[in-house]
C-alpha cells in the first residue's frame, strides 16, 4: 500500500548514508561525462578509482544497515527492502557510469603503432 509506505521514514543514519552515496554517485556521473567527452586518460584512472571507492562505501553502508536490523531499529526494519534496493540500484548505476573509464583506458596510445625513424 503506497499510503503506508509514504508514512515510513528511513532511520537518521540510513538517510545520511543514502545521501552520502547519492552525492558520490552524482560526482562519479559528472566525472564520467567529462571522461566521455574528453577521453582524458588521467581522469579515466581517477574514475576507475572512484568506482572502487564507491563499491567499498556501498558495502560498508549495506553492513551498517544489517547491523541496524540486528539492533531491532524499527525504522530500518520498516524500510529495509527499499533501503537495500536503493543501495543495489545506485551500485548498478555507478558501474554503468564508470564503464566509460575502461573504454578510454583500453584505447591504444596515440604514439603506439607508429614507426620511429
The answer to whether residue 21 is domain-embedded is yes
The three grid cell numbers given for residue 2, joined into one nine-digit string: 503506497
Quote the pLDDT of residue 17. Answer: 94
- Residue numbers of the domain that contains 91: 12-105
Query: Which residues does the chain have with pLDDT short of 70?
Result: 1-7, 109-117
The answer to whether residue 6 is domain-embedded is no
Quote the pLDDT of residue 77. Answer: 78
State the helix-helix crossing angle for 41-70 and 12-38, rounded to 10 degrees. 160
The answer to whether residue 2 is domain-embedded is no
- Looking at the structure of the chain, the number of domains it has is 1
The answer to whether residue 5 is domain-embedded is no
CATH number of the domain encompassing residue 55 = 1.20.58.220
How far is residue 51's CA from residue 44's CA, in Å, rounded to a whole number?
Answer: 10
How far is residue 19's CA from residue 30's CA, in Å, rounded to a whole number?
Answer: 17
Amino acid at each position: 500500500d503506497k499510503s503506508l509506505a509514504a508514512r515510513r521514514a528511513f532511520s537518521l543514519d540510513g538517510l545520511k548514508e543514502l545521501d552520502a552515496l547519492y552525492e558520490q554517485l552524482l560526482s562519479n556521473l559528472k566525472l564520467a561525462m567529462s571522461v566521455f567527452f574528453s577521453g582524458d586518460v588521467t581522469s579515466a584512472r581517477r574514475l576507475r578509482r572512484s568506482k572502487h571507492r564507491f563499491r567499498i562505501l556501498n558495502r560498508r553502508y549495506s553492513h551498517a544497515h544489517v547491523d541496524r536490523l540486528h539492533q531491532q531499529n524499527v525504522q530500518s526494519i520498516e524500510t529495509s527492502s527499499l533501503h537495500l534496493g536503493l543501495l543495489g540500484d545506485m551500485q548498478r548505476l555507478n558501474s554503468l557510469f564508470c564503464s566509460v573509464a575502461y573504454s578510454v583506458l583500453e584505447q591504444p596510445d596515440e604514439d603506439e603503432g607508429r614507426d620511429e625513424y
